[in-house]
Structures are given as C-alpha cells and as structure tokens.
Amino acid sequence: MTVPAAAAERAAFLRGEIERHNHAYYVLDAPTIPDAEYDKLFRELQQLETDHPQLLTADSPTQRVGAPPLKEFPPVVHRLPMLSLNNAFSEAEVQAFDQRVRDGLDLPAGAGPVEYAVEPKFDGLAISLTYENGIFVRGATRGDGATGEDVTPNLRTIRRIPLRLAGTGWPALIEVRGEVLLFRRDFEKLNARQRERGEKEFVNPRNAAAGSLRQLDSRITASRPLSFFAYGVGAGYEALAANSHAELIDRVAGLGFPVSRERRVVAGAEGLLDYFAEMGEKRPNLPYDIDGVVYKVNRLSAQDRLGFVSRAPRFAIAHKFPAEEATTEILAIEIQVGRTGALTPVARLKPVFVGGVTVTNATLHNEDEIRRKDVRIGDTVIVRRAGDVIPEVVAVVPEKRPILAPEFIMPKACPQCGSAVERLPDEAVARCSGGLYCPAQRKQALLHFASRRAMDIEGLGEKLVDQLVDGGLVHSPADLYGLDMATLADLERMGEKSAQNLCAAIAKSRNTTLGRFIYALGIRNVGEATARDLARHFGRLEDIMAADEAKLQEVQDVGPVVAVSLTAFFAEPHNREVIERLRAAGIHWPDAAPRHDGPRPLAGKTLVLTGTLPTLKRDEAKSLIEAAGGKVAGSVSKKTDFVVAGDEAGSKLETALALGRPVIDEAELLNLLNKKD
C-alpha cells in the first residue's frame, strides 16, 4: 500500500521535532516544551507508524521502548581496539607521565609545557556506538578490548544516545566511544522502586548500570534510567578533521552527543595536578560518580607519535582518587597460580564492607610486599579497594597482632603441579616453572601453543580449549596430537565438518620451524624474535636445551634474564617430557647449521612499516628485516633509520616526512636486504 505523501512528510517532521526536544531535555538539560506537548507529538507519531507500518524506521524515537528478549549477546570485533588506560595514584606518577610524554616527543628541557585534554573518569561501563551514514547501527561493550558484546537493542533505549546524528554531512562510518552510567538521583529512584517491589537493591550506580545494560530483555533496560557521555572516537575519527582531542570532542558534541561539561585543556604536569585537585573538591557534588580523571595529550599528531605500549596508550593516563578503606582480620593466606604461572598470595578476610561491596579476599601482591608490610595470619589490617576495584591490604594494625603470629613463607614448589618455583633477580613475582604441565597454566599454554605465530592450529579457540581441558581430554600440548575426529565431533558446537577441519589443522602443524616451536613452548621472556634468534644461532633444539646461561647469552639480544628463563624451563623434567612427546607425535622441522651472528645488512637499524606493500605481507617483511639484524618499530621518531611505505600509507608517512627520515619502497627494502655482509 502506498503511503500518502502528507503522512510521510508529517512522520518525518515529527521524528525531527521529537529528537530535537529529546536532545534539549536529555543532553542539554534545557527542556523546550511542556511534557504534555511532547507526549502529544510522540503519540501522533506512534499512530502514524501504526496506520502506515512502512513509515517505521530504525532511527524512529518510538523504537526506544525495547525489543523481544535475546538468547545471548553476539560478539563484536572492534575495528580499533578499545584499550585500557594505565593508572596513576600519586603526584610523582603524574609528573613521571608528563616527563615520559616529553621524552617521547623529543622535547628539549627549555621547551614549553605539553598541552593536555583533561576530563572526569566516569564510573560506568565503556561502550562503542557505530553509525553508518548517520544512523545508529551497532553498539558494543568493551569486552576484552578486542571483542565485545553486541548490546544494540539495549543502547537504543537510552535517550541520551542519538539514533540519528545531528546536522548533515556525516562521515560514512564513525564509531563514537563513551560511558553508560546512572546519575545518582536516578540510582536512588531505581533502588526505591526495587524496594517497593520487594526486589534486591543495587549496591552502587556502576553495578546497576552494568547490570541494566547486559539484560537479554531490552524492555528491562528501557525501564532503567541509563545515561551516556561520549569521550572519544574509534574508527572514522579521521573524517572529523580535528587537530586535537578537544577539537575532536567538540565535533562529537556537534553530532548530538552529550559530553562532559567538566572537560578542558591544561598545560603541563602542574595543570594536570590542579585539575585533579579541583575535581576532587567537585566530586561529592557532581550528579554522577567518578573514580578519577583522565589526562590525554591534546594534539592528535603527538598522540600518533607516542603510540601505544602493550594494551594501553602512551599518550593518556587515568589519575585515580584515593580509595575507600576499612579494617578487618586476616583469616588465612593462600597462593593463587595465574594463567601465566605467577604465584600471588591472597589474604582471606573476615567479610568487610568497602567501597560499596562486601570484601572477603584481598591481594597481597607478592612476597616482597608481605615482608615490607609484615603481614601475618591473624593480623588486623586496613583494606582498600585500589582504584575502587581490586581489594588490597594497605597496612597492619600492629597493636592488635596475636602473640606468636607466624611469618609467611612463599612455597618452593607450585601448589598446583609441584614444579619448582622460580624468581628472577630483577622480578618481584615468583613463578611456576612447569608451564607445559601446570594445571593452572594449561589453558593459556594451549592457546599460546596453537596461536597463529606459534604452531598455527586454526580453529583451536578459547571455548574449545575450555571444553578439552575441563573434560580431561587434554593435559598438555602433546595431547592435542592424540585427538581424533570422533572425540572432537562429540564436543559442544563441533560436528563432523568442524572436527575434520581441526584434525587437518593439527596434522598440518606437525610441519613447522624450530623458531616457531620454541616460541610455541611459551617460555617466560622468550618472544617471537628471540625464538627465531635462538633457532638461527644454534640450529638444533638439542643444542638450545643443553646450553648454559653463558652460551645462551652469545645469542643476539639474549641477556641474563632471558638466559635464566631458558635454563629454568629446560631444567624442569615435566617440560622436557612434554617436548619429547611432541617430537614423538611427529612435530618436525629442518635442522640448520648453527649461525653465529656476525654483521648483517640491517644490523643496528630501526625500520617502520606503513601501508600495503606490493608483494610482501607485513609479517613477512618484519621477519626479513629481523633476520637481517634490523628492528621493526611501531612508530616513527628521530631514531628511525628507514620508513618502508606502501599503498595507502597513513600518518606514519606524514611523520617521517616532517622529521626528515628516509622513506623507501619495497624494492629499495629488498635491495638493502640483499646487500652482502
């Protein structure tokens, strides 16, 4: 049925008017019409869409009421990772951050202060919102930073999130990032309603917001008064043509998003600390909870130069407020073995309410911390929720110590597998040396062993590893090579075709290289490049396993720490047994004559790769450069020797040109690689 033109025009007008009033009410806190007039417009639009279903659009304000329940949240892979921030808890740490930024930007001592964008650190749930051609199409939680959960139906119910971007000329695709939270007044109303219904009350606004957003039934989410603030942009930020973070957030506000009114730009460490003090004073009177403030280098070009380290940016840091504290008693000290083999002493506490939750456990970090604080079983201690998240023991109340309270002794053997516990001279953490055998490390060891740059067993992911380990089918990587199709096909979500593919991938992995195999073993401090260097230097696995620390340190970039890790790993009988079983299962590689490192074409040179090369993949180019003695860096600086640029080279090429660093193409790279030693 054809929709009358007048009805279509009226519906479009009503949608625009309602969203304009929504923005004024929910984002600007400045209502433009009485509630009765708003309700009249809303009901008229609902009636038009009921009479003419063809008029209903995904961005209609009427679609915020919730949808039928989901069975589960589908995964969403973030186009750009949603990285966490490193934390600072003291003035000294903030000053050290500012100095690291200055050093990373090569600023001389006499240069002016760095400009920073500063904003509150909202105590809520981080999310990303994806818009295509101005329409909201997908929303996801942060998850593990790489993959989150698709909570689009729930996010549609939040009135502070626009379903259509404001203005015109939007980017074809843009991902806006921010925080879902509950205002304090709304949290109090929500708990009052929970009490009236005889239902469980929420402990704090953050828990209430997180629980509301992760409801499988979005109609429940729609009944909760969630709010949102935008604080950044992921994919598509280039299209906003901003030169600074502050300018970028101005652009985001112009698209119709609520942003913090407390954000501003300051200069240097002094400006950061002044802002922290100011927000500390304002904190009790803000309408929402914050657990600190966030500092970001303002210039986007400077952010690009500083880059990232591990899972956090170098150009930003969160400065946390002091956490709440309480006093309680230590009932026992137990050892937890982490997935990487780290032994962490944990205090079992007499339950105590701290920072909105009941705490029964607290980390003691490591043996040195226990000695420094002189923590003993039976002690009365002050407990703090560090960063308002992880409970920790701050100090002992010595006058309440029981007579003859025993000192803590770190075990010499892993409580999970009995392997020797090692502690390197420059590390505070003690670790289990039974990596391939230890039950606590089993899943992590298998995932690492099967990863693309190790044995490359396609299809062996986290959920499948969980089933194999929890079902007692796999105890070490060697057991993978004894799996058959019938066993795999019986697993949940497998089936004959998937089982066949995994069996083929396991069989294919038997043919590998010595460098990949060493890396796959997951030896502490031995990364991909070090594993290749060991393989090139020794040529045979037997020679690596027999080498002492002095011999190992003859290898390029292998120092005392790596040498100790290698000898400790190969000294453990459990690990040798697993290696023997892997060899017996048919894993093989071509042995090579030992190559003792001499001068190589790119020895001592630092290169940066950007863009798409004509024939070489990024990993292939990196391997060739490292084999020739060079180092591949992630960002361009004055210390970069060559920038290898391919098609669609981005900001790294611009930085190279600005710094006057040599730029070469793939052909010139191959010429450098082919030069004789």
DSSP string, 201-246: PPSSHHHHHHHHHT-SSHHHHHTS--EEEEEEE-TTGGGG--SBHH
Q: Which amino acid is at 532?
A: R
Q: Could you give the CA distance from residue 408 to residue 374 in angstroms, rounded to a whole number?
A: 9
Closest CA to 273 of 100, 99, 90, 105: 90
Q: Could you give the CA distance from residue 506 to residue 493 in angstroms, rounded to a whole number?
A: 18
Q: For residue 627, what are its two tokens?
A: 């084999």
Beta-carbon contacts of residue 622 (< 8 Å; ≥ 6 apart):
609, 632
The burial class, CB within 10 Å (0-12 / 13-18 / 19+), for 360 is middle
Start-to-end CA span in the chain (Å): 78
Q: What letters, b where the CB count within 10 A reaches 16 and e where it falls short, cover 257-288?
A: bbbbeebebbebbebbbebbeebeeeeeeeeb
How far is Cα of residue 649 from the mean position of the Cα atoms in its chain?
26
Helix (H), strand (E) at residue 592: none
Beta-carbon contacts of residue 602 (< 8 Å; ≥ 6 apart):
625, 628, 629, 630, 672, 673
How far is Cα of residue 517 from the mean position of the Cα atoms in its chain?
27
Give the orientation angle of helix 205-213 with respect to helix 184-196, to 10 degrees.
70
Q: Could you give the CA distance from residue 675 to residue 235 in angstroms, rounded to a whole number?
A: 40
Q: Which amino acid is at 238?
A: E
- Name the 3-class secondary structure at 5: helix
Q: Could you give the CA distance from residue 655 to residue 73 in angstroms, rounded to a whole number?
A: 41
Helix (H), strand (E) at residue 422: strand 421-422
Q: Which amino acid is at 97?
A: F
Question: How many helices (H) and strands (E) would you count in the chain?
Answer: 24, 24
Q: Could you give the CA distance from residue 640 to residue 599 in angstroms, rounded to a whole number?
A: 19
Q: What letters, b where the CB count within 10 A reaches 16 and e where it falls short, cover 156-194?
A: bbbbbbbbbbbeeebbeebbbbbbbbbbeebbeebbeee
Asked if 123 and 324 touch (Cβ cutoff 8 Å), the reply is no
Residues that are catalytic: 121
Asked if 675 and 628 touch (Cβ cutoff 8 Å), the reply is no
Q: What is the DSSP letter of 406?
A: P
Q: Could you give the CA distance from residue 204 to residue 545 in angstroms, rounded to a whole number?
A: 54
> What values do phi and psi take at 129, rounded to 5?
-125, 120
The burial class, CB within 10 Å (0-12 / 13-18 / 19+), for 385 is buried
